[in-house]
Amino acid sequence: MTNANKIISIANDNKGYVTTKQVKENHINTIELTRLVKQGKLERVSRGYYAISNSFCDDYYIYQLKSKNCIFSHTTALFFYDLSDRTPLYFDMTVPVGYNGSLNKNKNIVLHYVKKELLNLGLTTVESPFGMSLRIYDRERTICDIVKYRNHLDKEIFTKALKRYASLKEKDLNKLMKYAKKLHIDKKIREYMEVLL
């Protein structure tokens, strides 16, 4: 098997994606990646990440590759947790204050900034529609975020998300209040939950 075929095989085993790191681990010169891109067999989707050309691209996964510090949040997270019926028109992502990467220039992404010490509060993972692992905030952090930024959110989306969360069996109100205290919105969260529960 040629090195080019080995790379395509690695990509096929990894849902259409291959990294520079994987190529090096298989003792293949990374120049092969450049050749495959020139031949139109691979596309460079981000630094060190490649996808098989003309395959279905997982936008969630590709945007996540652009920064190790970005986390899906707000309306995008609501959609993943079935707390909203609307497919997001753009991707909400949270990054640390001071972030100045390539996501800033992308019109499909709305960035939300938080202090570094709050970035990983409520961090978890879900599968993208194409089966890739995505960094995302859990339900409780998502509810805190939409309450904190309620004035920037469609009122119907906001109200429906709170009602759906309140009706969930698997909600964790202790965790919700713990996050709310750290984000300084515990009074507001308590008010909403008292009305809904």
Which residues, 6 or more positions from 102, have their beta carbon under 8 angstroms from its beta carbon? 66, 67
137 pLDDT above the threshold of 80: yes
Query: What is the CB-side half-sphere exposure of residue 143 using CA atoms within 13 A?
Result: 30
26 and 72 housed in the same domain: no
Quick one: pLDDT band at residue 96, thresholds 50, 70, 90? very high
Say whether 53 sits in a helix, a strand or coil: coil
70 and 36 housed in the same domain: no
pTM (2 decimals)? 0.82
Quick one: pLDDT band at residue 91, thresholds 50, 70, 90? very high
Stretch 83-95: mean pLDDT, rounded? 91
99 and 31 housed in the same domain: no
28-66 pLDDT per residue, tens: 999 999 999 999 999 888 788 888 887 777 889 888 988
Q: What is the pLDDT of residue 117?
A: 96
Domain span at residue 118 reads 65-196
Q: What is the pLDDT of residue 110?
A: 94
71 and 29 housed in the same domain: no
Per the structure, how many domains does the chain have? 2
34 and 51 housed in the same domain: yes
69 and 50 housed in the same domain: no
106 and 41 housed in the same domain: no
CATH number at residue 24: 1.10.10
135 pLDDT above the threshold of 90: yes
Last residue of a domain, one of 41, 57, 73: 57
16 pLDDT above the threshold of 80: yes
Report the Cα–Cα distance between both ends of the chain, in Å, rounded. Answer: 62
Q: CA angle 62-76-106, nearest 5°?
A: 45
17 and 49 housed in the same domain: yes
104 and 139 housed in the same domain: yes
